[in-house]
């Protein structure tokens, strides 16, 4: 997704970009109020300090959550199964929320899929994985039957450990120290959850903790969080425009032309996109991607190419977007409509569909259809 200025009351924006935690990060700051209170030199200096602070925070989180660093806290936990392990407040919080989402997604979105990602060849940072150039023909195949809820419920698990989420135990000691018990044979991947969690944490930090309480939009590789200062005028909120771009092919090029699928406007909350189109690599003679179906232990085959979801926080948006891809178009749209969730789905034929709940956030759309 890309960010555009609001369609009204265009704010003064200051953007800076970072590369951390395996993704491109952009922080957009609304400096309109600051320009009336501080000199440009003071603003530039404060943004420099803020950028440095964010870089340090991201480095700290990466050392906690990276699955490509054997010294990270997450990998130490993965290497110490069948025993209680002391963990940081950050890891405890993210894992607790990840477990919370498992029953909400029928067990399809689960943090227990690291070994399946390894089997699919995702053992190293995505930037280092082999990617063969392809023709302009989309490489996504469709197998809707494999995504039906009944078939999913009847399927045999390819990895029993994936289904034992209830065996993970979390405990807080009297002194406040957090502990996690990870059963033998299980290994955690928290990457998707972490991106959403970090985006929201940074947005809250910038807009509510920083001395200047700066309105902001934080984009962690497509997971976007809006930071709203506590003293913001609720009668005239700052509105952010977010462009939903067309999907990518495996060679990184977009489908057809550069026209965006839709422009969304939001003044709070979060947006996240998940899909089969971009994060793909070549392994053992075939294309793989990062959305693992837990019942089969391999990348899902779905007729949802990408899903974009709006929610109150970025982790929720990320989880629900992934869930829509895993469900497939028909059942995803049924679930979205039943729960009044705002979303845009693009299928493998590049057809764009939207749930009714998103229409209040649309200012531009290109050939979007709805299902009631």
Q: How far is CA 276 from CA 213, 306, 353, in A?
A: 37, 6, 17
Is residue 12 over pLDDT 60?
yes
Share of the chain above pLDDT 90, in %: 59
Share of the chain above pLDDT 70, in %: 79
Is residue 354 over pLDDT 90?
yes
Is residue 134 over pLDDT 70?
no
**Contacting residues for 154 by C-beta, under 8 A, at least 6 apart:** none
Tell me what the pLDDT averaged over the chain comes to: 84
**126-135, 230-239, 258-267, 330-339: range with highest mean pLDDT:** 330-339
Is residue 141 over pLDDT 70?
no
According to the model, what pLDDT value does residue 164 have? 79
CB 246 within 8 A of CB 255: yes
Strands (E), the chain: 2-4, 13-20, 23-30, 84-87, 169-172, 178-181, 216-220, 223-227, 240-244, 262-266, 270-275, 280-283, 286-289, 292-293, 298-299, 304-311, 343-347, 352-354, 362-365, 368-370
Residue 339 DSSP label: T
According to the model, what pLDDT value does residue 146 have? 42
Angle at 364 between CA 9 and CA 279, to 5 degrees: 105
Is residue 154 over pLDDT 50?
no
Q: How far is CA 5 from CA 13, 110, 217, 223, 242, in A?
A: 8, 35, 11, 18, 8
Q: Where do we find the tokens 């807080």?
A: 172
What average pLDDT does range 175-199 have in this prediction? 95
Q: How far is CA 251 from CA 2, 137, 220, 296, in A?
A: 19, 10, 22, 27
According to the model, what pLDDT value does residue 155 have? 41
**Of 371 and 368, more confident:** 368
According to the model, what pLDDT value does residue 159 have? 44
Whole-angstrom distance, CA of residue 68 vs CA of residue 123: 7
Is residue 136 over pLDDT 80?
no
Q: Which residues pair with 147 in a beta bridge?
A: none
According to the model, what pLDDT value does residue 60 have? 97
Least confident range from 141-155, 184-198, 218-232: namely 141-155
Is residue 148 over pLDDT 60?
no
Whole-angstrom distance, CA of residue 77 vs CA of residue 81: 7
Q: Which of 198, 193, 252 is nearest to 227 (CA)?
A: 198
**Contacting residues for 58 by C-beta, under 8 A, at least 6 apart:** 18, 20, 21, 25, 198
pLDDT band for position 128 (cuts 50, 70, 90): low
Is residue 250 over pLDDT 60?
no
Report helix, strand or coil for 200: helix
Report helix, strand or coil for 23: strand
**Of 145 and 227, more confident:** 227
Is residue 36 over pLDDT 90?
no
According to the model, what pLDDT value does residue 127 have? 67
**Of 118 and 329, more confident:** 329
> What does the pLDDT look like over 47-99, one tens digit per residue?
999 999 999 999 999 999 999 999 999 999 999 999 999 999 999 999 999 99
Is residue 369 over pLDDT 90?
no
Whole-angstrom distance, CA of residue 160 vs CA of residue 156: 9
What average pLDDT does range 96-117 have in this prediction? 93
Phi/psi of residue 371, each to 5°?
Answer: -130, 135
Encoded tokens for 165 = 């989420």
CB 223 within 8 A of CB 275: no
């Amino acid at each position: 997704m890309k960010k555009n200025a609001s369609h009204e009351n265009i704010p003064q924006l200051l953007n800076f970009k970072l590369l951390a935690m395996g993704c491109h990060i952009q922080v957009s700051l609304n400096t309109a109020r600051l320009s009336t209170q501080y000199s440009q030199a003071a603003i530039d200096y404060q943004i420099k300090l803020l950028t440095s602070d964010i870089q340090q925070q991201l480095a700290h989180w990466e050392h906690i959550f990276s699955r490509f660093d054997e010294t990270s806290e997450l990998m130490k936990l993965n290497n110490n199964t069948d025993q209680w392990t002391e963990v940081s407040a950050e890891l405890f919080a993210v894992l607790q929320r990840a477990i919370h989402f498992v029953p909400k997604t029928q067990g399809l979105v689960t943090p227990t899929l690291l070994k399946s990602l390894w089997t699919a060849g995702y053992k190293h940072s995505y930037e280092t994985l082999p990617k063969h150039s392809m023709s302009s023909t989309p490489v996504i195949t469709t197998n809707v039957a494999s995504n039906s809820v009944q078939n999913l419920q009847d399927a045999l698990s390819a990895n029993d450990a994936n289904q034992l989420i209830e065996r993970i135990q979390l405990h807080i000691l009297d002194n406040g120290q957090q502990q996690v018990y990870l059963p033998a044979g299980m290994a955690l991947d928290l990457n998707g959850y972490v991106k959403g969690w970090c985006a929201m944490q940074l947005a809250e930090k910038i807009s509510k903790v920083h001395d200047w309480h700066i309105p902001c939009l934080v984009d962690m590789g497509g997971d976007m969080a809006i930071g709203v200062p506590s003293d913001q005028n609720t009668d005239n909120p700052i509105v952010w425009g977010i462009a939903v771009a067309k999907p990518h092919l495996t060679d990184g090029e977009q489908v057809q032309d550069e026209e965006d699928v839709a422009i969304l406007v939001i003044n709070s909350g979060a947006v996240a996109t998940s899909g089969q189109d971009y994060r793909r690599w070549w392994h053992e003679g075939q294309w793989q991607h990062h959305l693992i179906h837990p019942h089969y232990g391999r990348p899902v085959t779905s007729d949802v190419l990408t899903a974009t979801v709006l929610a109150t926080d970025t982790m929720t948006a990320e989880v629900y977007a992934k869930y829509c891809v895993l469900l497939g178009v028909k059942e995803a749209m049924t679930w979205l409509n039943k729960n009044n969730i705002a979303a845009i789905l693009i299928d493998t034929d590049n057809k764009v569909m939207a749930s009714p709940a998103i229409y209040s956030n649309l200012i531009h759309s290109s050939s979007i259809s709805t299902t009631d």
